[in-house]
Structure 1
Amino acid sequence: MAGDPGTMGALSGRPWYAANEVLAFLLELAALACLSWWGFAAGHEGALRVVLGVGTPAAAVVLWASFAAPRARWRPGLPLVLVVKTVVLGGGAAALYGVGHPVAAVVLAVVMVANTAVAETFRRSPGGR
């Protein structure tokens, strides 16, 4: 993002778009943190706990980077991108629920859905990228 002058121009002229993109990045990081937290707290002992705590967010990163990231290796159509986002972001919210924080999980899920809807609306608006 930093090396693309077209993107920076779009962000500088649209502060709400830029703010929403920053929020999207923070939500992605939160989802990974929740997946890791769940993996380490899943009740297993020893190596399985480490495998889940490290492997679950690592698998989410690979899935995201392959299909949903702005510079994804394979950028499918919007429906599949939304499925990947649902799996990763929704998985983060489900993981938060799984570690015993149901209200926070619902709040996180609602913010994630709203953020994704706003982001896709901005991307398809006449002034979008």
Structure 2
Amino acid sequence: MIVNLLLRFLLEIATLAIIGYWGLQQGNSYLTKILFCTGLLVVTISIWATFGAPKASLALEGISLLTLELVIFGIAAVILWTTLKPAMAVVFVIAVSINRVLIYFFNSFY
């Protein structure tokens, strides 16, 4: 089960890296690129830390948590797909799906 939790952690880090990478591609100057990247990461981390993390102050459960995961991981998958990396997007979606099924099956979310 530890392997699945490690995979989950790596998928979360990958999601942040994907969103940050996309943020760096936006804007016309270095300043706007860094502001866009930083802003997206702050918003994503804040939402996840508030609602999605196991020890979150307002932790979601059940379908609400699944919806939040679908939105955040889905955004990362769409970013991969639209940045002309569809194969990586497919692998990412498969990894997230398998991980989520195993978390449900073993009833262990962190």
Same fold (TM over 0.5): yes
Tell me the C-alpha RMSD between the 2 structures: 1.8
Distance in structure 2 (CA, Å) of the matches to 1:41 and 1:121: 38
- For structure 2, the residue ranges without an aligned partner over 5 or more in a row are none
Matched residues in 1 for 2:79 and 2:35: separation?
15
Question: Which of 87, 91, 106 is residue 107 of structure 1 equivalent to?
Answer: 91
C-alpha distance in 2 between matches for 1:58 and 1:96: 20
1:50 aligns with 2:50: no
Contact 1:96 1:104 in 2 (8 A): yes
- Residue 47 of structure 2 is matched in structure 1 by 63
Alignment partners' CA distance in 2, 1:27 and 1:73: 22
TM-score (normalised: structure 2) = 0.88
Aligned residue number for residue 90 of structure 1: 74
Tell me the SS of whatever aligns to 1:45: coil
- Indicate how the Cα distance of structure 1 residues 98 and 57 shifts in structure 2: closer, same or farther if over 3 A, else same: farther
Alpha-carbon distance in structure 1 between the residues aligned to 2:82 and 2:37: 13
What is the CA-CA distance between 1:48 and the residue it aligns to? Answer: 3.1
1: CA distance, partners of 2:90 / 2:14: 14
Q: How far apart, in 1, do the equivalents of 2:43 and 2:66 lie?
A: 17
Contact 1:36/1:56 (8 A) holds in 2: yes
Distance in 1 separating the partners of 2:35 and 2:71: 19
**For residues 35-57 of structure 1, what are the alpha-carbon distances to aligned partners after superposition, in whole Å with 9 as ceiling and x for unaligned?**
00111113x21243222212112
Task: Find the structure with the greater CA-based Rg.
Answer: 1
% identical equivalent positions: 27
Structure 2 SS opposite 1:57? helix
Residue type matched to 1:118 in 2? Answer: L
**In structure 2, distance between residues paired with 1:62 and 1:37:** 18
* TM value normalised by structure 1: 0.76
CA shift for structure 1 position 59: 1.1
Q: State how far apart, in whole Å, the 1-side matches of 2:82 and 2:32 are.
A: 17
